[in-house]
Structures are given as C-alpha cells and as structure tokens.
Amino acid sequence: MSGINKYKPHLLVVPEDDANRQIVNGFKLHPGINARAIKVEKASGGWIKAKNSVNSCQLENLSERYLLIMVDFDGKLERKDEILQAVDPLLVDRVYVLGTLSEPEQLRKDLGDYETIGKRLAEACVSNRLDSEPWTHMLLKHNIEDAGRLRETLDAVLFI
C-alpha cells in the first residue's frame, strides 16, 4: 500500500465502479484533505463484489484501518444494511457505506464531472458543512449521517 502506513489511522476505499473511484480521487485532490491517509482500491465491478471485499480488507488485523465502501444504491437504500451484515459486528463501527441513491451519471449531469463532485464533497467536509450542497442533493442526502460519522471519527486523520 504505497503512501499510507497501515499501522496509523487511514481510510481504505472500495469503489463499486469507476465513477465512484473518480469521485474519491476528486475528494483526495482537495487541499484540505490528507490524501496520504486515503488508499483507493480498484473498482470492484459491482455492489455485491464491493460487499464481498469486506472480508479481504483485514479490518480485524489492522486496528487503525477504516473502510469506506462506495456503491450505487440503484434506488435500494437497504443495500447499506446488506453490506453491513457482511461485517463482523465488532468491526462495524469502522465501516461506512456511501453512494448515490441511483446512479452517479445523474449526479454528474447536475453537479459537474466526477472529480469536481469529489472536490465539492471534500469542501463541504473540510468546512464541516454537511448540511449544504452537494451533500443535500436529492441523490446524496441519505449519506449525511454516515458522512458525519466518518468526518467525526477521522477528523484529525483526513482533514488538514
């Protein structure tokens, strides 16, 4: 894992697809983000594969690792619970599931290219404004609670 020390607090991101990967990469580009504390895996190729990747993320062996799974909910918010059911109950507090309510393509039409969306999401996190755009967009607002939990837990790690 180049760039991060797996024995220090860090965030491992498993994106479902390339659109989600690009959003995370845009997030990392924001100057207020400690990009060295974020490792982005390759796109998993679907939400089920992203869910199944939980078992290979070594959360039980790496106590400083936090996991963000980014998926397209395809209108099914229960996917979050399905993904979290794959996580050991002792580790679930270190796992976050975020994504668009439908597909990221609609978000791109409304908010700009994926990298720009990621930068805007980062700006709202850095300024602690999860109650504003883009987080309040109809395709993202269901993420506000988990995004807030992630921000609170990893504040000193991710935000500079």
The CATH number of the domain holding residue 147 is: 3.40.50
Domain count, the chain: 1
- Domain membership of residue 5 (yes or no) is no
- Domain membership of residue 3 (yes or no) is no
Residue 66 domain boundaries? 10-158
- Domain membership of residue 141 (yes or no) is yes
User: What pLDDT, in 10s, does the model give residues 101-151?
Assistant: 998 888 999 999 999 999 999 999 999 999 999 999 999 999 999 999 999
Residue 73 and residue 20 in contact, taking contact as beta carbons nearer than 8 Å: no
**Half-sphere CA count of 121, side-chain side, radius 13 A:** 33
- Domain membership of residue 143 (yes or no) is yes
With vertex at residue 52, the alpha carbon angle to CA 7 and CA 105, rounded to the nearest 5 degrees, is: 100
- Domain membership of residue 28 (yes or no) is yes
- Domain membership of residue 154 (yes or no) is yes
Q: Say what the pTM is.
A: 0.94
- Domain membership of residue 16 (yes or no) is yes
- Domain membership of residue 4 (yes or no) is no
Q: What is the pLDDT of residue 1?
A: 40
